[in-house]
Amino acid sequence: MTVQERAALRLQERPRREASLWRDAWRRLVRNRAAVLGLVVVALLIAVAITAPYIAPAHYAAGDAADEHTVPSWLAAVLPGNVAAYAKINNKFLLGSDFLGRDLLSRIIYGTRVSLPVGFMGAFTALIIGLVYGCISGYYGGRVDDIMMRIVDILYAFPTMLLIILLMAFFKTSFGGTPVPGTPAYTFNQINKAVDSILGLRGGGMLFIFMGIGLTAWMGMARLARGQILSVKEKEFIEASRMIGASDMRIILRHIFPNIIGPCVVAETLAIPGYINYEVFLSFIGLGVDPPTPSWGNLISEGAQALRSYPHLVIFPALALSITMFAFNFLGDGLRDALDPRMRGTS
Amino acid sequence: MLRDKRLFLVVAVLVTVAMVVSACGPKGPKLAQEINLNLGTEPPTLDPALATDTTSVEVDESLFLGLTDFDDETMEVIPELATEWKVSDDGLVWTFTMRKDAVWVHYDPATKKFTKKRPVTAHDVEYGVKRTLNPETASEYAYVLYIIKNAEAYNTGEITDPAEVGVKALDDWTVQFTLEQPAGYFGGIAGMWVARPMPKEPIEQFGEKWTEPGNIWSNGPFALDTWEHENRLVLVKNPHWYNAKNVSLQRINYVMVVEASTAFAMYENGELDVCGVPTTEIDRVKADPVLSKEYYEGPYLCTYYLGFDTTEPPVDNKLVRQALSYAVDRQKLVDTVLKGGQKPAKTFACPGIFGTPAEDPNFVGISYDPEKAKQLLADAGYPNGEGFPEMTYLFNTSQGHQRIAEFIQQGWKEVLGIDVVLANQEWKVYLQTIQTDPPAVWRMGWCADYPDENNWVLENFHSTKGSNRIKWSNPEFDRACEEAAATSDPAKRKELYAKAEKILCVDEAAIIPIYYYTRVVCNKPYVQRTYAALGNEHYDKWKVLAH
């Protein structure tokens, strides 16, 4: 085989090799039991969120206050204290009902329609804004990099939670409620309504939560993307493409992106539980989705009021939340092991 | 060697025994006259001229005396700093004679020393009233004193000479008030915190900081020991108070725990001696053999109501407002969500207030009637809620208010088929919002400052003399309130107030009265206490029994 032939062969092999990289990653992922479990749970949660109206026993806002705080008999037997002495035992609701006689199970099921979109949208916005910002900053370097990164540093200096609380309070007072038609606030309000109805919720204010989390979540991603770019952009193959006259855009999109996207996706998968947690926290302090839309944060917050009398009202939503967090964390860990170049080849 | 070891053992055992004995030795009954209470939140101020909320007033009631006070049981006006008072025949001039043994004290928390400063005199009353009315003080409650001659003009800057205000110390022990018009209820107003005698010296020396521990002068049964903002507040007994020998409590420890459920957990844990019972715990408390004996449910002179922005569509239409009012199942709300023995409300002023038709069987108010509600909404042009514009129901952030809001929201959806957006704001922002730019529907509670309808209908909803957050103006209603205020004949006043309530709550449905409050508390069995109907507890009468 001549040298040319060998080179041609290598070129032919290339696509197959790239495919085998992803196949390799997938193989590594499925070998990781915790990651598979995480993947299955996440897939299940997505299925639950999509099919909520069909699998939930009742609508989340439906209920008769006469059925308030019922406890099913199986729970009454398990719960500490003498629940049977003061609670209404009623097997109509599998996990009991809340203060307005609404089915807790249905509310938890519909709660996935808040928590999952918040998690994914948080990650998605962070990826989009963060990647673009980080790429520009890292690729052009010099003064551009200095200025852009100092802005991130300044924003980073604010406690994220505080920033989100301020943003949410601002959105809620400016765009919430029923603003006058024709104003920008009204437009925002209408977009918000559209988002809510896409998610099948009756008045939730999801757009504000997406914006609140999205506007604060990209900074970490921007730093990560910049760091990745700095390590890649001096590599020979970049210089090569620059030498043959490739445009900046082409270099970034065709050569840099594929090399840095892995770690970025992994980082965002690991950040999803954090975003879900933000929503829970916001709802807990009354800045989250608007009632009667259930979110796990709302449910935990409501349940915590009755912690001593009806502990199950906080236990089940909290359980749903922690299972989700575990699932995303396991999946994220698995993805990192599978995709991170430095971990490649180790097992 | 062996002996040494044995000696060591003996000593070790003896030491251990001694420690155990001293630790579990006779504990003795806990007889400290100390009580642990939850203030609920940081009091916005302790300055009586600035206080507008129940938290501030709760503390001020122990620190500062008024000319008059309310009897815990009968709610009648009784003497406090004043020994007696005379009213002129035309009802315009009120002359109070004061007791001579009340003194200002200064308490130094560092040295725990009380210093007697000087007697409380009529000049302090005059100074206090004028200070509240001074526009520079910016008292939000100054309007309560507008019944005093020229008070409104001085407070609004129309006149600048405080000497024209109708309050004057005739000598050290006599103070005279001149009123704008006769007002039978003025005896109650004279004892309110905004009309209390104030010490000029510390106010001038420390300015805004005069209510801090170590700066403050007070004259009540207790003095301020500690005020760690947002955390705790401690009052100690004032030995120089004229009735100090009958005061048992030596110390009142307030914590500021906002979450009712957290506070109640502290109560069950023995960290609080008295505590309000959160609604979610009521069923359990009533079923519990111990807690059920500590449970108390009693009247409390407050009303929970929904207000409107009566200028904003669709609630500018009285048919819509009536429909909304008829669609609230108050009895069910009380039975299922509140559970504390509250009563469904059909008037603004609650039972126990002079002039209210709340318990008058002839007064037909609005109660739950889904058919009528549907009919009214259809009459207003929204059959089955079709075409009803979206509107906001605003409440201040609290689980309790949210529960009520969700209940009402659900009811309106079910009965009328309309969607309402629920929104909440933090208390201080909330007050600002409903004062300046109220949404279509908002919640509010009103508690009596003095037990007279004037404090309710006129001070809240008169188009110009009240706070009028509902932006409402009804000449007939205004006239009824004004006439009733100027009349001294009780029968006539009752009639006029019934008329005003009917216009407010039924004919125009300018507000939706929801329920009359109750006080739902648990008291440890060793707390011997009184219940003040108006909410300003008299801790000087409380006692901690042996336990």
CA distance A281 to chain B (A): 15
CA distance A232 to chain B (A): 49
Q: How far is CA B378 from the centre of its chain?
A: 40
For the stretch B319-350, pLDDT in tens is 999 999 999 999 999 999 999 999 999 999 99
What type of residue is A165?
I
Task: Return the C-alpha torsion angle A20, A24, A27, A33, nearest 10.
Answer: -160
Inter-chain residue contact A301 with B399, CB threshold 8 Å = yes
ipTM of the complex: 0.76
Q: pLDDT at position B239, please?
A: 94
Give residues with Cβ within 8 angstroms of B309, minimum separation 6. B315, B438, B439, B440, B470, B471
Q: Which of A69, A177, A292 comes nearest B392 by C-beta?
A: A177
CATH 3.40.50.150 fits B65-218, yes or no: no
For the stretch B257-315, pLDDT in tens is 888 888 999 999 999 999 999 888 899 999 999 999 999 998 888 999 999 999 988 89
Q: pLDDT at position B295, please?
A: 95
**Tokens describing residue B462:** 């008169």
Give the residue on A whose Cα is nearest the Cα of B424.
Answer: A286
Give B300-519's CATH code, choosing from 3.40.50.2300, 1.10.230.10, 3.10.105.10, 3.40.605.10.
3.10.105.10
Inter-chain residue contact B402 with A202, CB threshold 8 Å = no
Cα maximum dimension of chain B: 106
Inter-chain residue contact A68 with B337, CB threshold 8 Å = yes
Residue B421, number of CB atoms within 10 A of its CB: 23
B11 — pLDDT class (breaks 50, 70, 90): low
Decide: helix, strand or coil at residue B345: coil
Give the residue on B whose Cα is nearest the Cα of A68.
Answer: B336
Q: pLDDT at position A347, please?
A: 39
CA distance B440 to chain A (A): 9
Is residue B345 within 8 Å of residue B513, measured between CB atoms?
A: yes
Q: Which of B261, B389, B421 comes nearest A177 by C-beta?
A: B421
For the stretch B339-383, pLDDT in tens is 999 999 999 999 989 889 988 888 989 999 999 999 999 999 999
Is residue B251 within 8 Å of residue B147, measured between CB atoms?
A: no
CA distance B371 to chain A (A): 18
Interface of B with A in 264-303 (CB under 8 A): 264-265, 268, 278-281, 283-284, 286-288
- Residue B482 pLDDT more than 60? yes
Per-domain residue ranges of chain A: 3-62+102-346
Average pLDDT, chain B: 89
Per-domain residue ranges of chain B: 65-218, 300-519
Inter-chain residue contact B264 with A66, CB threshold 8 Å = no
Query: Which portions of chain A are predicted below pLDDT 50?
Result: 15-17, 344-347
Q: pLDDT at position B96, please?
A: 96
Q: pLDDT at position B29, please?
A: 47
Give residues with Cβ within 8 angstroms of A252, minimum separation 6. A135, A139
Q: pLDDT at position B173, please?
A: 94
Say if A68 is an interface residue toward chain B (CB within 8 Å): yes
| Topology given in CATH for the domain delimited by A3-62+102-346 | MetI-like fold (1.10.3720)
Element (H, E) at B176: strand B174-178
Residue A184, number of CB atoms within 10 A of its CB: 10
